[in-house]
Amino acid sequence: MNDPITHSLSHLDLNTKDETFLDSNELIINMGPQHPATHGVLRVILKLDGEKVLGTECVIGYLHRGVEKIAEHRTYTMFNPYVDRMDYVAAVSNGLGYCQAVETLMNVEAPPRAKYIRVILTELNRLASHQLWLGTHALDIGAITPLFYTFRDREEILKIFEKYCGARLTTHAFRIGGCLYETYDGFEREVKKFLTFVAPKIDEYEELLTTNRIWVERTRGVGYISAEDCIALGVTGPVLRASGVRWDLRKAQPYAAYSDFDFDIPIGENGDTYDRYLVRMAEMRQSLRIIQQAVDGIPEGPIMAKIPKVIKPPVGEIYHSIEAPKGELGYFIVSDGSTQPYRLRVRPPSFINLQALDQMVKGQMIADVVAVIGTLDIVLGEVDR
Amino acid sequence: MLEYIKSYLGSNLTPGSAGNMLWAFVYIALIFLGLSVAVIAMNWLERKILAHMQVRLGPMRVGPHGLLQPVADALKLLLKEDIMPAEADKLVFWLAPLIVVLAAFAVFTVVPFGPTHAVTDMNIGILFMLGVSSLGVLGIVMAGWASNSHYPLIGALRSSAQMVSYEVAMGLAVVSAVLMTSMNAQGTGTLSMIGIVQAQQQQGVWFIFKFFPLGFMAMGIFAIAMVAETNRAPFDLPEAESELTAGFHTEYSGFRWSLFFLAEYSAMIAVSSIAVTLWLGGWLRPFPNLLGGPLWDLVFSLAPGLSFLALGAMAAFNTFRMPRHSFFRVQTVGLALFAVLLAMIGVLMLAPGVRERVQDIFWFCFKVAVFMYLYIWYRGTFPRYRFDQLMRVGWKVLLPAGLGVLILTAIVGVLV
Amino acid sequence: MNPVATPFFFYLLSTLAILGGVMVIVRRNAVHSAIALIVTLLSVAGLYLMLYAPFVAGVQIIVYAGGIMVLFLFVIMLVNIDRSMKERAFNKQWWIAIAAAVALGALFVSVFVKSKGLFPERGLPLAEESNTQQIGLYLYGNYMFAFEIASLLLLVAIIGAVVMAKKRI
C-alpha cells in the first residue's frame, strides 16, 4: 500500500485488513485505465459490497499532455490547433472558445458571416458529439445497435467538416478574428440536405431506446444528482439542465451569433440518467433548429476581421466561456503583452462534471457506474488535458 | 452389412433403447459433428445477421461473404498461446471449460431429432436435460473462482445466482408442459422427450396452442428463462463486456476460451431444442390439422430439399453479383462450389426414401433455428438488465407467473 | 434392454463416490472439497440409475449437483481461501472421530450380516409403471401429510434465512 496513488485514497479505507474469516463483503476493484466502459484512460477504483458501490475514486492523468503549459511557449496562433486535442469529439467548440477568448482580449470582433459559419459548424459538432455520446452510452448499457446508427449519421457531419476544412476530427476550423476558409460551393445546400436527412434518424434512435422497458429501467432513478449539488460542484451542461436548472451560456451570455436565433433550452426534472438522455436528445433537435435558421439567414460579407499579422494582445486577463456540448468550456488567459500567453487555463466541462461521479454512484450498483460514466459524457483528453 | 443398415432403418426404436451400442456411437459421432458445424454456422450467421441489423456488412474478407471467417477464427484460437494466470488454481482452471463443454454436449443424448433420431430415449429425458444443463453453471463458477481475479469472480457470482434463480421458473414452465402430456385417456404423462412429442401428435395439438393462452404463457416463461440460463443478451450480465470486461472468462484465452464459446452456443441450441420439443411439436411438421392429408404431407416432405435448393440459388445469385475482378476469382469459384454443394444436398433430400426420413430432422432444426434467430434479434435490440432487475424479473415475475400457469393448467386439465 | 457391464459400473461409481468423499475431508482448499463433493453426488446419482430409480437420479443431479452445490460454491468463493488454508483444520478430536467412524462401520456390517434373510437375493421385480409415476402416487397419496409438513418446514427455513440475512426488511 505504498503506492502513492492508492495511498492517498483515505476515504476508501484501503488499508483496513480483513479481520474475520468470513469477511468477504468488501471488494476493491480497479476499473480501467484499460476498460471498455471508461471511455478512454480513466481509472476508477471501486469499493464494493457485493454488487453495491460503497465508494469510488477517480485516478486521472493518463492522457495528460500539459496543454496549458505548452500554451506558454506557443504564440496565440500556434496554440490554436492544440485546443482541438482536448475534447477531440467536439474540436470545433474548443476552437471557437479559444478564438473568441483571444478576440475578446484583443477587442476585435469576427464579422457576421464568420459568426454564422461558426454557429453552423459548432452546432453540427454538438450534434456529432451527442451522437457519439448516445452510441457509446447505449453500448455501455448493453444496447449495441444505436452505436452503429449514430456513427453512420455522424459520418455525414464529418464529411461536411472534411469538405470545409480538410480535417474530420481535429478540425482547426476557426482562426483568431474569424474563419480562414470561405464555405465551399454548395455548403448551404449540403447542410440543409443533412438536416432533412438526420431529423428522422434522431426519431429512429429514440424509437430504439426512449420507450424501451429495459432502457428506462436501467436509466430512470440512476445517478441522481440534485440541482443544488450540481451548482455546488460546478457541474454544467446537459447534466445541470437535466436537474432542472435552465442555464445555457448560449442564452445567458450570448456569443457568436446565438442572440439572432430562436431556440429552447430543454431541461429535465429528476436529474437522473434518463432525464439527461432526454435532455440531450432534445438538444440535438434544438441544434437542428439553430442550424436551419443559421443556414437560411447566413449573411454575405468578409469572414475575417482586421487583425495584425502578429497577434499581441494588450496586457490584461480574460475569462471567456462557451456552451460546449458537454458544458461550460472556459478559457482564462493572462497576457503580458507578448506574442505568447503568460498563463492559459482551461476550464474543461468533463473534468468538473467528473467530480460528480462519486456522489452519483454511491449506494448504487456496478452496472450503474458504467451508466453514470456514460451519462456524464466525459472525454478523457479534456479531463487530463 | 447393407442388410444390417436396412434392418436398422426399419426399426422404430432409438439406438439407445434398442441396446445397439454401435449405432448409438454412430449417432453420438453424428450429433457431435452436426453440433460443431451448427456452432460454426451460428457464429457466421450471428455476425452477419447482427451486422445487417446494424447497417454494416459483417465479415466479408475471408471467403465469399466471410463464409470462412469462423474457420479462420477457430484456427487462430487453436494456434494462440495458452495462458494460465500465475496465481490461478491450476487444476480448477483446467477443469472448468471441460465441465462446461461436457454439460453442454451431454444433453444432446436425449434430444429427439425424430421418432428414432436420438441417441437414446430416457424415461426421465426432460429431467436429464434440465439437470445436466444446470451442471454447466458449475464450470462457470469454477472458472470465475479459479482465475483468481476480481472481474471473473463477480461474473461467476452473478452467473451462479442468475442460473439458480431462473432454473426455478424454467422448471415450473416445463412441469406445466409435462402435465399436458397426461391429458389423454389413460391419464399417464411422460418425461421422455420422444414421448412428449408423441403426446402432442396424439392429442393433435402442439402444446403452445393447448389451453390457449396457458401453453403459450408457459412457453413464454421458458423462452425468457432460457435466455437467462444461457447468459445471452439481455441477460448477459456474467459476461457483460462494458462492466466486467468479459466476466467469468476474462482470464481465458485460446483454445480454453473457444471451449467456453462452443459450450455457450451448444447450450443455446440445447435449451432451444427443449422449447421446441415441449411446445412446438418437436419434429412434427407445421399445420398438421389445417393442411392435412397425403397431398400436403408430400408437399411438406419436399420442404427440406426445396429450402436447400433455395439456399443454393441464393448462393448462385450472389456468385453472379461478385465483382468481376481477378482479386475475387477464388472467392467467386468458392461461392459457386458452395452453391453447387447446397443444390446437391437439396436434390438428395428430394429423393423419395430420403425425404421421409430427413423431414423430421429438418423440421426440428428449422424450429430450433427460429429460436437461434430470436437470440440474435434480442442481442441486436435490447440493452442489458441490471443485476437487481434481473433477480426481480426472475423471482417476482417469472416465478409467480410460472406457478399460476402450472396451477391453471392443472385445474383446466381436470375440468376438461 | 439388458444392462451392460453392471458390476463394472457399480464398482466404478462406488469407488468414485468414496474417493470423492475422502477428498472432501482431506483437501484443505474448500473449493476443491466442494468439487470432490460434486463428484460424490454425481456418482451416487449413477448408482440410483443402476437401481432403476431414474427419477431419483435426475432429481439428485438437478437439486444437489446443480442447485445446492452451486450455492455452496457461491458461499465458499467469498471466503478468503488464502486465510482458511493457514487456519488449523478442525482435527483436534480426531480420536473421537475415528471411534465414531469405526462404530458406524461396525453397525453397518452387523446390519448387513444379520439381515441376510430379510432382503431378497435377486432384487425386487421391476414395477410395471414408470418410477416417476410411482413416486408421484406415493408422495401425493400415502405420504401426503409428511410431504406437506416437509414443505412447511422448508418454508419456515426460508423465512428464517431471510430474517437473519436481511439487515432491515
pLDDT tens digits for B335-368?
Answer: 888 889 989 888 888 887 777 778 888 888 889 9
Q: In the predicted model, what is the mean pLDDT of chain B?
A: 84
**Least Cα separation, residue A268 to chain B (angstroms):** 23
Residue A155's CATH number: 1.10.645.10
- Alpha carbon distance B335, B352 (integer Å): 28
- For C17-29, the DSSP string reads HHHHHHHHHH-SS
* Residue of A58, A127, A97 whose CA lies nearest to A282: A127
| Each residue's pLDDT tens digit, B80-121 | 888 888 877 788 888 889 888 888 888 888 888 878 777 777
Q: Which residues of B touch A (CB under 8 A)?
A: 50, 53-56, 150-151, 153-154, 157-158, 233-234, 236-237, 240-245, 379-389
Would you state the pLDDT for residue C4?
56
Residues A242 and A377 in one domain: yes
Would you state the pLDDT for residue B40?
87
Residues A94 and A15 in one domain: no
Q: How many CA atoms lie within 13 A of C83 on its CB side?
A: 13
Decide which of A59, A85, A100 is a domain's last residue. A59
**Least Cα separation, residue B99 to chain C (angstroms):** 11
Q: What percent of chain C has pLDDT over 70?
A: 80
Residues A330 and A365 in one domain: yes
| Each residue's pLDDT tens digit, C115-125 | 777 766 665 55
Decide which of A34, A59, A84 is a domain's last residue. A59
- Alpha carbon distance B64, B331 (integer Å): 5
Answering whether pTM is above 0.90, one says: no
B380 or B13, greater pLDDT: B380
**Least Cα separation, residue B177 to chain C (angstroms):** 16
Answer yes or no: do B379 and A144 touch at CB < 8 A: yes
| Each residue's pLDDT tens digit, C64-107 | 887 788 888 877 777 665 665 666 555 677 788 889 989 999 99
Residues A242 and A263 in one domain: yes
- Alpha carbon distance A268, A246 (integer Å): 9
Q: What percent of chain A has pLDDT over 90?
A: 4
Chain A residues whose beta carbon lies within 8 Å of the beta carbon of residue C79: 21-22, 24
Task: Answer whether B308's CB lies under 8 Å from B345's CB.
Answer: yes
Rounded to 10°, the helix A187-209/A145-165 angle is 170
Kindly state whether C163 is in contact with chain B, defined as any CB-CB distance less than 8 angstroms: no
Please, which residues have CB within 8 angstroms of residue A78's CB and are 6 or more apart in sequence?
A: none
- Alpha carbon distance B50, B48 (integer Å): 6
Provide the strand spans (E) within chain A.
Answer: 26-31, 43-49, 52-59, 174-175, 178-179, 316-324, 327-335, 341-347
Kindly state whether C1 is in contact with chain B, defined as any CB-CB distance less than 8 angstroms: yes
Would you state the pLDDT for residue A18?
46
- Residue C104 carries which side chain, given as an amino acid letter? L
Answer yes or no: do B164 and C70 touch at CB < 8 A: yes
Query: What domain count does chain A have?
Result: 2
Answer yes or no: do A24 and C79 touch at CB < 8 A: yes
Residues A275 and A161 in one domain: yes
Backbone angles phi, psi at A325, to 5 degrees: -55, -30
- Using CB atoms, pick whichever of B54, B234, B379 lies closest to residue A214: B234
Residues A374 and A347 in one domain: yes
* Mean pLDDT (whole number) for B250-276: 87
Positions of chain A with pLDDT under 50? 1-10, 14-23
Decide which of A16, A39, A59 is a domain's last residue. A59
Backbone angles phi, psi at A345, to 5 degrees: -125, 135
Backbone angles phi, psi at B63, to 5 degrees: 80, 165
* Domain span holding position A24: 4-59
- For A76-129, the DSSP string reads HHHHHHHHHTTSGGGHHHHHHHHHHHHHHHHT----HHHHHHHHHHHHHHHHHH
Task: Answer whether B84's CB lies under 8 Å from B342's CB.
Answer: no
Answer yes or no: do A21 and C87 touch at CB < 8 A: yes
| Sheet bearing A26-31, strands edge to edge | A26-31, A43-49, A52-59
Q: How confident is the model at residue C149 (pLDDT cuts 50, 70, 90)?
A: very high
Q: Which of C83, C84, C88, C90 to mutate to test the interface with A (most CBs of A within 10 A)?
A: C83
Distances in Å between the Cα of B293 and the Cα atoms of A195, B299, B300 are 59, 10, 11
Nearest CA in chain B to C60: B131
Q: Which residues of B touch C (CB under 8 A)?
A: 16-19, 21, 89, 91-92, 95, 122-124, 127-128, 130-132, 134-135, 137-138, 141-142, 144-146, 153, 156-157, 160-161, 163-164, 167, 171, 188-191
Chain A residues whose beta carbon lies within 8 Å of the beta carbon of residue B147: none
Residues A19 and A160 in one domain: no
How many residue pairs bridge chain A and chain C with CB atoms within 8 Å of each other? Answer: 14
Q: What percent of chain A has pLDDT over 70?
A: 92
Residues A35 and A124 in one domain: no
Residues A162 and A115 in one domain: yes
Q: What percent of chain B has pLDDT over 70?
A: 94
Residues A339 and A306 in one domain: yes
Chain B residues whose beta carbon lies within 8 Å of the beta carbon of residue A209: 383
Answer yes or no: do A142 and B380 touch at CB < 8 A: no
Answer yes or no: do A35 and B384 touch at CB < 8 A: no
Residues A335 and A365 in one domain: yes
